[in-house]
Amino acid sequence: MKDDQLLRYSRHILLDDIDVTGQQALLDATVLVIGVGGLGSPVALYLAASGVGHLILCDDDKVELSNLQRQVIHTTSRIGQQKATSAETSLKDLNPDCRLTLMHSRLAGEQLDQAVQAADVVVDCSDNFDTRFALNQACKTFRKPLVSGAAIQWEGQVSVFDHRDASSACYRCLYGPGANNLSCSESGVVAPLVGIIGTVQALEAVKFITSAGASLTNRLLLLDGKVMRWQEIRLQKDPSCPCCGI
């Protein structure tokens, strides 16, 4: 680790659970971030700031004016740019040592499999169940930990599905094919909520990479932002789950 890196990450290195060994693990890590919008903005910013050496950013959308209420990685001057390209500008300014791979299409099939295989941790910041189900299946296939978050209106949730652990529930254990797919464009979302949930996702990814603390595996955190109340629900594997129950 270079002298400037020792200074940049000194507050991590002071932590017994991270220290130089954990920080080096972050520098050596690759994280796949699916979606660079409301949730993906704080995820990408905090992972780059934390020293994750390689971020794979996947988003097929362009920056729109309505995004700027909550998608803090983008700016007014970048309206019309691909979101991954806009995010690259912010992240390079924050931490030029972070290597970025940009993907401007919605991942599916072999391309999705390759991206998941390349990652140490996958962070799901997408906004639709088709992507979430496909990502969960790929993470199951290649035994990659999946950090999942969602936010709508005043409510958010976050959990971890550790596909390296045979006892871990998966995303399909939690949601079946008939789940209601609400969108921010139809239902609205309060701006700071996505920051809270995305920051928790980033923290879980850092913990995985550094082996610090206890993860949210088999726990679902629910946040009611209107009354600022967290609730925790214990998750179990579903024996009839089409992903991990067979």
Q: Which pLDDT score is estimated for 222? A: 98
Burial category of 170 from C-beta neighbours within 10 Å (exposed 0-12, middle 13-18, buried 19 and up): buried
Catalytic site residue 241?
Answer: no
The mean pLDDT of 14-43, rounded to a whole number, is 98
The mean pLDDT of 66-78, rounded to a whole number, is 98
φ and ψ at residue 22, rounded to 5 degrees:
-65, -40
% of the chain surpassing 90 pLDDT: 81
Are the beta carbons of 168 and 146 closer than 8 angstroms? no
Beta bridge partners of 148: 124, 159
Catalytic residue among 58, 98, 125, 184: 184
Instruction: Specify the range with the lowest mean pLDDT, choosing from 119-128, 154-163, 173-182, 202-211.
Output: 173-182
Residue 246 has pLDDT above 70, yes or no: no
Q: Which pLDDT score is estimated for 209? A: 98
Q: Which pLDDT score is estimated for 240? A: 81
Could you read off the pLDDT of 133-142 as tens digits, one per residue? 999 999 999 9
Q: Which pLDDT score is estimated for 180? A: 62
Q: Which pLDDT score is estimated for 179? A: 58
Q: Please, what are the domains in the chain?
A: 3-234 (3.40.50.720)
pLDDT band at 151 (very low <50, low <70, confident <90, very high): very high
pTM equals 0.94
